[in-house]
Amino acid sequence: MAIPINFIEKRSIPSGTRMVCGFPDVGLVGVLASSHVISELNLVEMAYVDSDLLPPIVVLHKGLPHAPIRIFGNSNLLVIISETAIPAIGVQRLMRKFVEWGKSKNVKMIIPIGGIPVQNRQDIEEPKVFGTASNLDMIKLLEQKNVNVLKDGYMVGPQALIMRYCAEQNVHAIALLAQSFYNYPDPEASAAALKQLSNVTGISINVSKLFEKGEEIRLRAKDVMKRTQRELTKMNKGQEYDLPLYI
C-alpha cells in the first residue's frame, strides 16, 4: 500500500500564484534562498506536509513544534521549504506529489531553486546561474530574460524530479541553478539564484543579508548540509559531473 502524503492547509491557498521550491541539495542553495525569501517578504505559513516517508522529526521554533516541510506564502507567491534532508527513498513520491498539489492550486509557474556543483567554486567571485525549463515556452522566457540555458547534461535530485514531473503534467516550470560548492552551504550562490528569480518573475528581493550573514549561515547550516550530502550520495548526485551521452 502506498504511503500517504498529505498537505495540511492552515490557510486558504491562493490560486494562480508562482511556487518556489527550496529543497536540500548541493550547497543548500535552494533552502537558503527560500528561507531568505520567506524572511524578506514576511511570508506566513500556509500549509505543511505530513507523511511517513519523512524522518520522525519535528523542528522546534520558539518552543513550538513544526513539520520539517512547510509552505509559506502571500497572495501571489508560495514558497516550499524543507528543513531536513529529503530521504532518497521517498524523493520521487514526494516530488510528484508537490507537482500534483501545485497543479491543483493552478500555479502559473513552479520554480525550483538549486545549485550546480563546480569544482573551482572557490575561485569564482560571482556564480553564474543556469536555467532549465519544462517546455518550449519556458525556454523562450529564459532566453528573453537572458538566463543561460543549461542545454545538455544530467540533473539529479529533488529539483530534477520537479522538472520531470512538470514536463509530464504540462506545468510551466523553470529551474534556477547557481554554480555552487557541492558540500558546503553556499549563501552567495543562493543570492545569485535569487537575483535571477527577481529577473524572471519581477519579484523584488533584497539579497544583501545573504552576504552580510554569510559566515553565520554557513556555520548554522553545516549539519543539514552533512545529512543532505549523505542523501545526495544515495541519489547518485555525482552523475551531474558526468559527460552527457549524445545520441
Partner 1 sequence: MSRSKKNNSIFDLIHEYLEEIKELTEELLPSERPSWDIESLTIEPLCNVSVTPNEVIVTADLPFTDPNSVKVEPVDSMTLEISAKIERRICCEDLGITHQEGEFSAFNCQTRIPVPVEMKKRKSKFKKGILEVRLPRKKGYEIKVE
* Site residues, partner 1 (CB under 8 A): 122-123, 182-185, 214-216, 218-220, 222-223, 225-226
Kindly give the pairing relationship between strand 18-22 and strand 77-82. parallel
The grid cell for 182 is 557541492
Q: Which is nearer to partner 1, 131 or 185 (CB)?
A: 185
Kind and range of the H or E run holding 109: strand 109-117
Taking the complex as a whole, the smallest distance from the CB of residue 100 to partner 1 amounts, in Å, to: 33
- Total Cβ atoms within 10 A of residue 187: 27
Of 143 and 216, nearer to partner 1 (C-beta) is 216
- d(Cα 245, Cα 154) in Å, to the nearest integer? 10
| 185, 221 Cβ separation under 8 angstroms | yes
Q: How far is the CB of 222 from partner 1 (least distance, A)?
A: 5
Closest CB 185 distance from partner 1, rounded Å: 8
Classify 60 in phi/psi space as left (phi over 0), alpha (psi -120 to 50) or beta.
Answer: beta
Residue 190 neighbours by CB distance under 10 Å: 32
User: Which of 86/225 has CB closer to partner 1?
Assistant: 225
Nearer to partner 1, 21 or 225 (CB): 225
For the bound state, the minimum distance from the C-beta of residue 154 to partner 1, rounded and expressed in Å, comes to 19
Nearer to partner 1, 178 or 200 (CB): 178
CA pair distance 10, 247, nearest whole angstrom: 48
At closest approach, how far in Å is the CB of 129 from partner 1? 19
